[in-house]
Amino acid sequence: MKADTHPNFVEVQVTCSCGNTFKTSSTLGKPNYHIEVCSECHPFWTGKQKVMDTAGRIERFRNKYGSKSA
């Protein structure tokens, strides 16, 4: 590799709002990061995905199409 071409990677500590901590590398050089969502608490990775049905769309769909037979 050429000298002075690539950025320096430093080890950083990442803390999630759920309390999970892990170490990774970063080029910014800040020693600590705070994030809101990580792989331990993200709904896609945990399988606990919430469906927000504030307007009743799912219930209207089930009432309209749910009782019809094929």
**CA of 20: how far to CAs of 16, 37, 69, in Å?**
5, 10, 48
- Single out the residue of 22, 16, 13 nearest to residue 38, CA to CA: 16
Q: Is 10 annotated as a binding residue?
A: no
- Asked if residue 18 belongs to a known ligand binding site, the reply is yes
Q: Report whether 38 belongs to an annotated binding site.
A: yes
| Nearest residue to 43 via CA among 22, 62, 18 | 18
16 is in an annotated binding site: yes
Q: Which residues are annotated as a binding site?
A: 16, 18, 38, 41
Q: Which residues are annotated as a binding site for Zn(2+)?
A: 16, 18, 38, 41
